[in-house]
Amino acid sequence: MKNVIDSPLTMSIKNYGINQVNADLIGIANIERFEHAPLKMSPQGIMPTAKSVIVMAIHHPDANIELDGLTHPQDKDGPYRIQGVMNERLDEMSFRMANFIEAKGYTAVPITSSNIWRYKGYKDLKENFAPDVSHMHMAVAAGLADFGINGLAITPEYGARNRFVTIITDAELSITPLLEPGSVCDNCRLCVKQCMTNALDTEIDGWNIIEIEDKKYRYLNKNLWRCSWAEHFQLDLDLDLPAVVNEQTIVETAECHGTRGQEMGSCLRYCVPKPLRYFDKSYTNAPRRKKLSVQSATMLDRRMYDTMITDASNHQIETVLVSDAAELNKLGIDITQYLPDGKVAIVVGIQTRKPYLDDLELNPQLSPGYGRTVEYRTFQAAYDMSRTLERFGFSALTLSHFPEAKLIAEVKNIESGKRLAAQVLLTNAPLAATGLVLPDSPVNKTKNIADFTREILNALGETEVNLVGIATAAVFDEVAEQLKPYYDGEKTFIAKDQADRFHHYDAEIVEKNNGVWRPEDYVKGAKSVIVLGVKIPHGSLETAARNPAEAVGSLMLSAFEANRQLKILAYKTSKILENAGYSAEYTHDLLGTASFNNGPQGETNDIFSNKFAAVAAGLGRISKCGFVVNKEYGANIRYVAIVTDAELEYDNITQDKTLTDACDNCELCLKACKTNAFEQPIEIKIGEVVENFQTIKRVNCDWAKRHSLIGASGNEFQGWNVDVAVPEVITKENLKAAMENIPAVIKFRPCNMEMCAMVCPYTRTQE
């Protein structure tokens, strides 16, 4: 294939992937390259109108791979935990890229990085552990990788030390040339030798042959149950594995012996392309990877330092601390026990005013997930900085647990009275010891209301927020009073599985009485509520559980990621307000009238969350079944509310009733509900606008979307065989009994849709 200049659209997508979401590699395939793929796990099966597939890669920092698993692949809490950070990053990249493409007028379907599989096939799909699409196959088809004999997609730059993510689109893009089969894997067979489950030489059924254009790639056709013994199911590698490993033996072993912990994948750890592979037994027992750049030992490229500070700033890091060997020695800290050639420790931190934990456990309304948001930002900053160091030729190790980090921060005279949420990375780069506090937002409390509001909006304009509206806090007191008869004291159930993973479900049911909240419950003297909206890619909704693939993974990813991006935006907005001297708290459910969807990444606020806040901020009207319809995005948007005592300029509540005209003679949403959750129509006045919608009995609605008991809500498309009719009266006892039907092996990967939204023309096209 001749080299051609990429089209302008392709160039803009690559620029966004490399410079905005920080991909290490990006490749593109046309849809024709997937003509031989099984339809139910192919791009065209998910999106029949697809023309292109975009694949982005990020790589594992070498030291994280080379220095974990030194004594055993199941060592606890090792640096291989970076893979979880990478998965979260890939999900963010996929989601943001899809929205970027849709902003250009095309449709895009983001695919999750991992953790959504059909364990035992689905209908005519016979493959076990089948994802919506295989990112490894996508990476090969997009010209980024060759297949190793182990089935991993290995790149010339990083070998197997990559993870990939995929976006499917109807945009026609310039394609990346394919790599030649066998051009990266030299058949060294280190992966076969090191595999402790013998997955690469036991229960092998020939070769998988993959045809793409005129090329044929191949890898060993292994038993994925055996391969997943420890890597996924966390079973002890020191046990004698059965001659045949399947679902039954997995469950029996888990119940008999319990779990030990996730395996550091040996096939990945030992797989480095021959031109980059070398050995240093004094450093590690695995092959090392030669860096693509070599740095001078006497002079640092100043771009590296500036790039690292930019990495930190992009993740809202406030403090960067560099401690050199002399300073570390004075503190009695020897970082060479973690990184053998380590010279410097870099701490990235955020000053927090809250306990460093997930606030959802303390208070389901108040700044939900504050601790996780801070953790996500610090981990991602440390990860990006480690990649920058590697690009400039240095070693870098990002650690999940480094107890000395707090000591370093204290010695560096971090502001007392505030807790430093910190992550650390170690490097052999000869950086000078320093402490750096990154500049806060310049917003000034002394400015007048109009200027202050404009500065906040300008700051948000530099982000990827889709909607911003501001309401007076006073309006919510009136709304709360109207809602009390319907929601105050309403009973809901929280179910927690007391059993270990891969054991039969053992539900503990906690009963909760809900209340109606007001802005004053968040911030004393509350005056304003800022409402932010982030859209879900239309492609995620348009393709969910339909088309030949009948896949739901993209919707699960997008619903979760929209909420995560809202947390990040709300955190940023809160910091702007706090730095200007105001108080601020954020919430996904301002008045406390909504609930949650249960998905593979955990519970996510549902489509009904913050509907009153969105209307009060002028962002839409409420549909018949109770979610917000926006003029530009329909129902495909989620909202977060920031409550503050700052006085701001307020947006007008929209009077445009035509936004929900389609609801007048439509009852698709009411008929789609399989839990009898819709109770009665009510009328609520928000400012001067009167909204009419159905109230929802949350305990019934939760039966499907929160407790995963109605197959049609999503799990049947993943191969679950669970469909329990909702009883006339739901009790703790019958809910517990119903949840015992949830399958042991896949119970922690639920995929639940909100069917009232799926049948709504404001969500997606309806036949």
Choose between 241 and 405: higher pLDDT.
241
pLDDT value, residue 362: 44
Angle CA(703)–CA(704)–CA(706) in degrees, nearest 5? 75
Residue 417 has pLDDT above 80, yes or no: no
> What average pLDDT score do residues 699-703 get?
98
Residue 404 has pLDDT above 80, yes or no: no
Where do we find the tokens 């968040």? 522
Q: 310-313 long-range CB contacts below 8 Å, 24 or more apart? A: 311/381, 311/384, 311/385, 311/388, 312/348, 312/381, 312/385, 312/438, 313/438
Short-list 218, 44, 30, 51, CA closest to 141: 30
Over residues 215-269, the pLDDT tens digits come to 999 999 999 999 999 999 999 999 999 999 999 999 899 999 999 988 888 999 9
SS3 content of the chain, % helix, strand, coil (to 5): 35, 20, 45
Exposed, middle or buried by CB within 10 Å (0-12, 13-18, 19+), for 544?
A: buried
DSSP state of 190: H
Angle between helices 247-257 and 224-231 (to 10 degrees): 20
pLDDT value, residue 444: 63
Residue 402 has pLDDT above 80, yes or no: no
Instruction: For residue 159, give the amino acid letter.
Output: G
pLDDT value, residue 15: 98
Q: Which residues contact 273 (CB under 8 A, 6 or more apart)?
A: 154, 156, 159, 184, 185, 186
Residue 554 has pLDDT above 70, yes or no: yes
Q: Which residues contact 721 (CB under 8 A, 6 or more apart)?
A: 711, 743
Residue 154 has pLDDT above 50, yes or no: yes
d(CA 526, CA 474): 8
Residue 384 has pLDDT above 70, yes or no: yes
pTM value?
A: 0.96
- Residue environment code for 150-179, b if the CB has 16+ CB neighbours within 10 A, otherwise e: bbbbbbbbbbbbbbbbbbbbbbebbbbebb
pLDDT value, residue 368: 65
> What's the whole-number average pLDDT of the chain?
92
pLDDT value, residue 264: 86
Beta-strand relationship, 528-535 and 637-644: antiparallel
Over residues 352-364, the pLDDT tens digits come to 765 544 444 445 5
Partner residues linked to 584 by β-bridges: 644
d(CA 203, CA 223): 6
Short-list 631, 606, 633, CA closest to 618: 631
pLDDT value, residue 4: 58
Over residues 318-348, the pLDDT tens digits come to 889 899 988 888 888 899 999 999 999 998 9
Q: 491-495 long-range CB contacts below 8 Å, 24 or more apart? A: 491/699, 492/595, 492/698, 492/699, 492/702, 493/699, 493/702, 493/707, 493/730, 493/732, 493/735, 495/706, 495/707, 495/735, 495/736, 495/739
Partner residues linked to 636 by β-bridges: none
Asked if residues 600 and 593 have their Cβ atoms less than 8 Å apart, the reply is no
pLDDT value, residue 350: 87
Domain 302-437 has CATH 3.40.109.10: yes
pLDDT value, residue 359: 45
> What average pLDDT score do residues 6-30 get?
97
Instruction: For residue 433, give the amino acid letter.
Output: A
Residue 105 has pLDDT above 90, yes or no: yes
Please spell the DSSP secondary structure of 277-337, one letter per residue.
EE--TTT-SS-EE--SS---SS---HHHHHHHHHHHHHTT--EEEEE-HHHHHHTT--GGG
Q: Helices then strands (H, E): number in the chain?
A: 22, 29
d(CA 548, CA 38): 10
d(CA 36, CA 33): 8
Helix (H) or strand (E) holding 670: helix 668-672
Choose between 261 and 763: higher pLDDT.
763
d(CA 680, CA 15): 51
Residue 74 has pLDDT above 60, yes or no: yes
pLDDT value, residue 361: 46
> What average pLDDT score do residues 734-755 get?
94
Q: Where are the domains of the chain?
A: 8-289, 302-437, 449-758
Asked if residues 150 and 189 have their Cβ atoms less than 8 Å apart, the reply is no
3-state secondary structure of 258: coil
Residue 165 has pLDDT above 50, yes or no: yes
pLDDT value, residue 401: 64
pLDDT more than 90, % of the chain: 80
77 confidence band (pLDDT: 50, 70, 90): low
pLDDT value, residue 356: 43
Over residues 50-67, the pLDDT tens digits come to 999 999 999 999 999 999
Instruction: For residue 207, give the amino acid letter.
Output: W
